[in-house]
Amino acid sequence: MAVHQPTHRRSPFHLPSLRGNQAATGPEADVSAGAGTRTAQAYVLAPARVLMGFVFLWAFLDKTFGLGYATASSKGWIDGVSPTAGFLGHVAVGPMESTFHAWAGAAWADWLFMLGLLGVGLALTVGVALRLTALAGTLMMALMWVAEWPPAQHLSDGSASMSTNPFADYHLVYAVMLIALAALSAGDVFGLGRLWARLPVVRDHGWLR
């Protein structure tokens, strides 16, 4: 006598198993959606990253070669003029007045400041090491903000500083932007962020990303 094996009819509402190239659901879908959002944000912020990089690079070039913009011709670093003496030496008020006066014109301060401008500018433009860049750039911006201690101060030569807002100025805006660029991996778009992240030393030390 033949034995009939039970058969299962497929319901017209049967959903196929989500495998292979099928779309994922649950935590996997959340991760995928999060990655997509992160990439979209990186696309939005990438132009800002490149422009900010040029701001730092231009400051480095102008102060080094005296291009005649913020730094007068023949007053560049290569002409023997300290890039920190003028700014730090004229700080007239603020909690770090005496400290900044002591730093003004010191060789180590000149080198740290100029290398900071160059390093932050290159890293932003290329899109690598944004976490370290955010840390270094934020520290630089914080020191410059304290040097122009608000509200608007009068420098020792009688002129007024650029700080006319009692709290927020461009130094703080730059600092926040640096942190945002690093947090959203803005170097992955129009930059070398993804290649940089694959380097063994960077994979082993997340703070280098």
DSSP string, 139-154: HHHHHHHHHT-SS--B
pLDDT at 71: 92
pLDDT at 153: 52
Q: Which residues pair with 154 in a beta bridge?
A: 160
Domain assignment present for residue 174? The answer is yes
Domain assignment present for residue 10? The answer is no
Domain assignment present for residue 9? The answer is no
Domain assignment present for residue 19? The answer is no
Per-residue pLDDT of the chain (209 residues; tens, 9 = 90+): 455 555 545 444 343 443 444 444 554 544 455 556 767 887 889 999 999 999 999 999 999 999 999 899 999 999 999 999 988 888 767 778 889 999 999 999 999 999 999 999 999 999 999 999 999 999 999 999 888 776 545 444 545 455 566 677 889 999 999 999 999 999 999 999 999 999 999 999 988 88
Domain assignment present for residue 129? The answer is yes
Domain assignment present for residue 16? The answer is no
pLDDT at 20: 43
Question: Tokens 């509402």 — which residue?
Answer: 13
Q: What Å distances lie between residue 20 and 17, 23, 36, 192, CA to CA?
A: 9, 8, 20, 30
Total domains in the fold of the chain: 1
> In this structure, what are the phi and psi dihedrals at residue 183, rounded to the nearest 5 degrees?
-65, -30
Model's pTM, two decimal places? 0.76
Domain assignment present for residue 170? The answer is yes
Give the range of the structural domain holding residue 101, as residue numbers without chain letter. 40-208
For residues 173 and 191, give the distance between their C-alpha atoms in angstroms, rounded to a whole number: 22
> In this structure, what are the phi and psi dihedrals at residue 27, rounded to the nearest 5 degrees?
-55, -35
pLDDT at 47: 93
Domain assignment present for residue 24? The answer is no
